[in-house]
């Protein structure tokens, strides 16, 4: 027995659409990019489009360049820094001691000590 839904198993846009309904696609060219892990990526670009210098490798995520012998170096990851690490970059130990003494003096004054 057939169901009541005549378009079961199809999706929007599916069907015998060809070049006549969509229009002609732009002429394309494939460009090779190479990452430092040795992967080759070949995205396609329109003939009049300018291709970028680098492309992200879909396999490993590293940047890929057009020269297979000298691919771009992997980006250098900076380690996570805490707030204290940033403060220590800006202030010396003697500055920290002076600020601490000033804050303690203010607290003692408020308490009446």
User: Is residue 51 a contact partner of residue 87, using CB atoms and an 8 Å limit?
Assistant: no
Q: How far apart are CA 67 and CA 28, in angstroms?
A: 21
1-34 confidence digits (pLDDT tens): 555 555 566 666 666 655 566 677 789 999 999 9
Instruction: Reduce the DSSP state of residue 56 to 3 states and report it.
Output: strand
83-109 confidence digits (pLDDT tens): 988 888 898 889 889 999 999 999 999
70 DSSP 8-state letter:
S
The secondary structure of 75-90 as a DSSP string is: PPPPPP--HHHHHHHH
């Amino acid at each position: 027995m057939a169901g009541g839904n005549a378009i079961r198993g199809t999706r929007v846009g599916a069907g015998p659409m060809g070049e006549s309904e969509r229009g002609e696609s732009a002429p394309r060219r494939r460009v090779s990019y190479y990452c430092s892990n040795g992967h080759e990526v070949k995205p396609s670009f329109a003939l009049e489009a300018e291709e970028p210098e680098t492309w992200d490798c879909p396999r490993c995520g590293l940047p890929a360049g057009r020269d297979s012998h000298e691919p771009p170096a992997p980006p250098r990851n900076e380690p996570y820094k805490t707030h204290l690490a940033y403060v220590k970059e800006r202030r010396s130990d003697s500055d920290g001691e002076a600020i601490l003494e000033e804050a303690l003096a203010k607290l003692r004054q408020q308490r009446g000590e």
